[in-house]
Amino acid sequence: MKQKYVVLLDNETEKLAIQEYAELDKEMLSLLCEETYDAKAIKTAMEKDRNTLIQALRTHNMYPPGAYTERIADAIIEMFQPGANTSAELFFEEREMFDPMDEETINESDDDDDDTGMEVDELLDDNIDDGFEEKGIIKDLKKSIQISDEDASIDDA
């Protein structure tokens, strides 16, 4: 799923807004959420440390994944620099969050799956001694479904 975050800083009203968009239909982003923050509070959190800024950005309505929040925080830090842009668009794809396995890791896991243990024939051994017949479980099994006389004659043919 594709996502976009638009970060807008309005210095006149001292507000910071973050809009979250997601691709609900193919090639069409829809607004999911917009969160507005007091720019002074964000600046104070930013001056404290990066983790405080990230915690200030996360709310009940907007809680982006860690990798997304890191990039959003970077954009906000840059916005508060003198002469910087007051808006930013950040694009994400969900598959970026997952690290693809490299070929070396795949080859190592293939080597670990050595089939030197049991043979397939040993796994398919028919000599299973569960003792069901000795306990009378199968012998005393009563059928709850009765075959009608008409169906029985069809099967006999």
What's the pLDDT at 83?
87
- Tell me if 143 is assigned to some domain: no
C-alpha 75/C-alpha 7 separation (Å) is 8
Residue 82 lies in a domain: yes
Residue 69, domain member (yes or no): yes
Which pLDDT score, from 0 to 100, does residue 25 have? 85
The model's pLDDT over 93-103, given as tens digits with 9 standing for 90+, comes to 887 766 665 55
Buried-exposed string 63-89: b where 16+ CB fall within 10 A, e elsewhere: ebeeebbeebbebbeebbeeeeeeebe
Residue 115, in any domain of the structure: no
The answer to whether position 141 is within a domain reads no
**Residue 141 clears pLDDT 80, i.e. is over it:** no
- Provide, rounded to the nearest whole percent, the portion of the chain with pLDDT above 90: 48
For residue 35, the enclosing domain spans 2-95
Please count the structural domains in the chain.
1
Let me know if residue 104 belongs to a domain: no
Predicted pLDDT of residue 136 = 55
Is 140 part of a structural domain of the chain? no
- Does residue 37 form part of some domain? yes
